[in-house]
Each structure stands twice: as structure tokens, then as C-alpha cells.
Amino acid sequence: MLEDGRAFRGRLFGSERKGFGEVVFNTALTGYQEIITDPSYAGQIVTMTATQIGNYGINAEDNECEKAWLGGFVCRELSSIVSNFRSEKTLSEFLREQDVPGIDGLDTRALTLHLRKHGAMRGVIAPAQDAAALLADVKASPTMEGQDLVKVVSNRAPWDMQAGYESAFAETSVLKPLTPRLKCAALDYGAKTNILRCLVQTGFDVRVFNATAKAEEILAWGPDAVFLSNGPGDPAALDYAIAEIKKLIARKLPIFGICLGHQLLTWAFGGRTYKLKFGHHAANHPVKELATGLVEITSQNHGFATDPKSLPADVEISHMNINDNTVSGIRHKTLPVFSVQYHPEASPGPHDSLHLFKRFHAMAVEHSSVRA
């Protein structure tokens, strides 16, 4: 049931609770597990446009977070059988464990078209019941704008990311470790594990800090660089994080942001973000790096975007999404700070942009030698 009253009937699976959230669609053909475990989807109900879901089951090593934070999961046909040598359980078992409600059997294309035309909106996955009451519940649920979901998903004390993810299928197997090893403080707004792995694999010792960590606390660890992670919700609601980022920028630390991290940097630089109609949730978006003219196929997952007109003069746009000409990356003209809206760590999605981690390392190396 959507907030404008449109309802779709299907079969429920996973958790039996009602699932509220902003309904979005993702057009990736593979990677439902990574999507479900991506904390950025907190507060959202994800519709997969690919129709056969669950075919290869779930395995622990591909999880992006131990907990699935999303509000609900929608697909056309949930597979009753799992076929993959790494699979440990079925998707439906996993969602039940994670207390995430799912629904299949509905016309997901009609739902997708509805969202494309009318924009992402609130909805609920629930057993068929009094439609009016359900609609009232949906309307009473919180909207995405202004919502701070980061505090929900980022709730741990500082911890050190360990190396040692040895799967032959990891993206990190593509990255060759660089020297020297540097210290990177990663601000966890709902970070995907694979980003942290990529940082470690590239040549960083990574300490992960809570989203509410103060700049002083971070600086006390003595990092060579700072990473701003992805995460859920509206960046505009995260004043506390933006304030600390401003302090870190002022210290001229090399900073790299991804997704929400990129949006927070936008705010920290004095820019603004706005809400996209139905967001970008896909693994096939072309992003052009303006400096080279080259196009990478990227994994994307965001509902807000940087307003290009809001950026100050010393910040330039480095990457554009050439599907709709939205901002996909920014860079400070003098400071060692850059960020991208998309997901270079892939997982799921193409590996075209993994090289950005190397770029971050090189920037950190250059900067640390200057300081030394």
C-alpha cells in the first residue's frame, strides 16, 4: 500500500511484522544480498526490478552489514530454490532472521512505473486488511526528508577494521595494497563493509568512528586521512556531522566521501542538497569524469543530490551522471578533499571505479609527506 492509496497484492514472506518505509526501486540485475544489507536503505522499502530474486541464496561473506536495516523488500518472484556453491540459506530465511518483511508476486513493473511517475513515496508491506486504516498508518509514518536515520544505524564505539577477508570473489582482490600504510579514520554513517575493506586493502589502517564522533576525538588518533561513509536518510538533518566535517577540512586533512559522505561534504563546503524524484538505485549508471571524458559504469544508491548551483567557487564538479546530468562528484580546488555520489566499492555493481581508493591513498601519501 502506497501513501497515495495505490495498493498491490502479492505473497508475504520474511518477517511477519508490518514494514513501513519510503518505497524505491533498484534496477540492478545481481546483488540483492548486498542491497538488502546496505545500511543506506534504512527507512526504505526496496523494490527489485529484476524479476527472479533469491536464486543464489545468501552467504555470510557477501553481507554489507550484519544487520539488514531496510524497511521491506519487494520482488516479482522469490525463488523457492537456491543454487550456488557459497549459499548458506535462502533469502526468505534470511529476511525472517533479520525481521524484514518481504512481498512477491506483484506487478513490480507497474509499481516501478508508478514511482517513476509520481516519485518515491511512503508505503507499507502488510497483510491485506482494512485499506483505509492501513493508508492512515502509512500517512502517519515519517517522511524521508529531515529524517536522521544515521543515528539508528551508526551506534558503535570506535573499532579497528581488520584485514582478512579472503574470498576469491571479493572486489578487494582487484586492489593491490599500496605502501606506505597510512592511518585512515572512517566516519561511519551507515558504512558498507566493503568500503572499509577496500580502504584496508588499498593500504590504510582503518579506525571506524561513530557518526557522532567529535573532530577532536578523531584527530587524537592521529589519522593521515579521513573517510566519510555512505548512509541513510537526509543529509540536511545531520548538523552535528557537518559541523565536525568542517573542522576536519579546516585541518587540511585528506578527505574522501562516498554517497552520504559526499552530500555531507557538500553541506560542509557551504553547498546544499535536494531530494531527487525517485532517486538513483542501480548498478548501471554512466558517470563521466570531466577531467578525462571517460565514462564509468557505476553503482548508485541515493535519494538526495548535490545542487550544483549551491557550490562555492573553490569547489568544482569532477563527475557528472550523464543519464540525467546530476552531480556525481566534487573536488576542492586547493584542499585534498574529494567525494563521489556513487559507490566505487561496488558490491553490488561494476568495479570500474575501484581506482578511486588508490587515488585517495596517493592523495594521502602526498599530503602526509608535505606535512612531514
Partner 1 sequence: MPKRTDIKKIMIIGSGPIIIGQACEFDYSGTQACKALREEGYEVILVNSNPATIMTDPEMADRTYVEPVTPDICARIIEKERPDALLPTLGGQTALNCAMALFQRGVLEKFGVEMIGANAEAIHKAEDRGAFKAAMQRIGIGLPNSRVAHTWAECQAAFTAVGLPAVIRPGFTMGGTGGGIAFNVEEYEEICRKGLALSPTSEVLVEEYLAGWKEFELEVMRDKNDNFVVICSIENLDPMGVHTGDSITVAPALTLTDKEYQQMRDDAKAIMREIGVETGGSNVQFAVDPRNGRRIVIEMNPRVSRSSALASKATGFPIAKFAAKLAVGYTLDELQNDITKATPASFEPSIDYIVVKTPRWAFEKFPGANPVLTTQMKSVGEAMSIGRTFKEAIQKAMRSLETGRFGFGADRKEALETRKFSRQELKAGLIVPGVERIFMIRRALRAGMTTHEICTYSGIDPWFIDNFREILEFERHLRGLGTLDKLDADTLREAKRMGFADAQFATMFNVSEMAVREHRKKLGVTPVYKLVDTCAAEFEARTPYYYSTYEEETEVAPSDRRKVMVIGGGPNRIGQGIEFDYCCVHASMALRELGIESIMVNSNPETVSTDFDISDDLFFEPLTFEDVMNIYDVMKPEGVIVQFGGQTPINLARKLHEAGVPIIGTSVDSIDTASDREKFHALVKQLGIKQPKGTMATGIDGALAAARDIGFPVLVRPSFVLGGRAMEICYDEGELRHFVGLAVEAAEGKPILIDQFLDSAIEIDVDCISDGETTVIAGIMEQIEYAGVHSGDSMCSIPTRNLSENVLRDIRETARKLAKALNVKGLMNVQLAIKDDQVWVIEVNPRASRTVPFVAKAIGVPIAKLATKVMCGHKLRDLGFTDEIVPRHYSIKKPVFPFNKFPGADTLLAPEMRSTGEVMGIDVTYGRAMAKAQAGASQALPRKGKVFISVKKTDKQHLPPIAQKLHELGFEIVATKGTADIIRAAGIPVQSVNKIQEGRPNVLDLVINGELVLLINTPSGKDPHTDEATMRKKSIMKGVPTLTTLSAAEAAIKAMQSLKGEEETVRPLQEFYA
Residues acting as catalytic residues: 259, 343, 345
Residue 85 DSSP class: T
Instruction: Check residue 328 for interaction with partner 1 (CB under 8 A).
Output: no
Nearer of residues 186 and 283 to partner 1, judged by Cβ: 283
Nearer of residues 224 and 296 to partner 1, judged by Cβ: 296
Q: State in angstroms the smallest separation of the CB of 30 from partner 1.
A: 4
Say how far apart CA 358 and CA 322 lie, in whole Å.
24
Instruction: Check residue 147 for interaction with partner 1 (CB under 8 A).
Output: no
Given the rule CB under 8 A, which of 55-63, 91-99, 227-235, 246-254 is the region that contacts partner 1? Answer: 55-63
In the chain, the N- to C-terminal Cα span, in Å, equals 59
The separation between CA 215 and the C-alpha centre of its own chain, rounded to angstroms, equals: 23
The only residue of 40, 59, 326, 368 in contact with partner 1, by rule CB under 8 A: 59
Residues 267 and 234 sit within 8 Å (Cβ to Cβ) = no
Q: What angle in degrees, to the nearest 10, is found between the helix axes of 355-371 and 193-202?
A: 50
Residue 25 DSSP class: E
Phi and psi angles of residue 233, each rounded to the nearest 5 degrees, phi first: 85, -165
Instruction: Check residue 85 for interaction with partner 1 (CB under 8 A).
Output: yes
Residue type, 11: R
Nearer of residues 15 and 49 to partner 1, judged by Cβ: 49
Residue 62 DSSP class: G
Binding mask 279-318 for partner 1 (x = CB under 8 A): ---xxxxx-x----xxx-x---------------------
- Rounded to whole angstroms, what are the CA distances from 36 to 195, 229, 270, 335, 368? 16, 17, 33, 36, 37
Binding mask 169-198 for partner 1 (x = CB under 8 A): xxx--x------------------------
Say how far apart CA 316 and CA 271 lie, in whole Å.
11
Q: What angle do CA 256, 35, 303 make, to 5 degrees?
A: 60
Given the rule CB under 8 A, which of 56-64, 121-129, 230-238, 265-273 is the region that contacts partner 1? Answer: 56-64
Say how far apart CA 223 and CA 241 lie, in whole Å.
18
The only residue of 98, 108, 202, 263 in contact with partner 1, by rule CB under 8 A: 108
Nearer of residues 158 and 286 to partner 1, judged by Cβ: 286
DSSP helix/strand/coil, 150: helix
Residues in 28-47 that interact with partner 1 by CB under 8 A: 28-31, 33-34
DSSP helix/strand/coil, 153: helix
Residues 25 and 112 sit within 8 Å (Cβ to Cβ) = yes
Q: State in angstroms the smallest separation of the CB of 98 from partner 1.
A: 18
Given the rule CB under 8 A, which of 15-23, 105-113, 255-263, 361-369 is the region that contacts partner 1? Answer: 105-113
Q: Which residues bind partner 1 (CB under 8 A)?
A: 8, 25, 27-31, 33-34, 49-52, 55-56, 59, 62, 76-77, 79-86, 106-110, 112-113, 116, 167-171, 174, 282-286, 288, 293-295, 297, 322-324, 346-352
